[in-house]
Amino acid sequence: MPYTNLSKKYEAYKRWRERYPERKHQGMQRYLQTEHGRAMQLARDARHAARRRKHPLPSGDLTAEQITNVLRTSQDRCAYCGVRSFRMGIDHVTPFAKGGANTLHNIVAACWSCNDRKHTGPPLRPVQLFLL
């Protein structure tokens, strides 16, 4: 039965996950056991390794505690759009690819959609950086 309303489809999937929690990752595990799945996984690992060689992480003094503090002080609000979201992450205002550092003064809390939209570009709007 095709779903015309995505919320109904999501609710049906949610009920299925609650009913069969042990099956959640079984499909992916079966796929990774196949020859094609192993080849895809090796290709992905090679791409990731090449990217790490090309763009090594810049040095910085950012700690897990500082990241937690930035997320806590943002009160689940995105620095770019201001919307409250449970899908929050850290965004580097000046991206690594543009010479940004991995420091407390270069990160803000951003929702996944704004972080994805920004990518390696300039900030979507002026933001107040985390000041000590």
Total-model pTM: 0.54
Residue 84 has pLDDT above 60, yes or no: yes
- Domain parsing of the chain, residue ranges: 6-54, 64-118
Measured in degrees and rounded to the nearest 5, phi and psi for residue 49 equal: -65, -40
- CATH fold for the domain made of 64-118: DNA Binding (I), subunit A (1.10.30)
Dig out the tokens for 97 from the structure: 């690819």
For residues 87 and 43, the answer to whether their CB atoms sit within 8 Å is no
Per-residue confidence (pLDDT) for residue 46, from 0 to 100: 94
Mean of all residue pLDDT scores within the chain: 83
First-to-last alpha carbon distance for the chain, in angstroms, is: 56
pLDDT of residue 128: 67
Tens digit of pLDDT for each residue in 94-126? 887 788 888 888 889 999 888 888 888 878 777
Of 2 and 109, the one with more pLDDT: 109
User: Which tens digit of pLDDT belongs to each residue from 28-83?
Assistant: 888 888 999 899 999 999 999 998 888 776 667 888 898 888 888 888 889 888 88
Mean pLDDT (whole number) for 89-96: 86
**Amino acid present at 101:** A
Beta strands in the chain (DSSP E): 88-92, 107-111
CA separation for the pair 90, 120 (Å, rounded): 14
> What does the pLDDT read at residue 1?
53
Q: Is 42 exposed, middle or buried (0-12, 13-18, 19+ CB in 10 A)?
A: exposed
- Mean per-residue pLDDT, 10-17: 87
The structure tokens listed for 112 are 């996944």
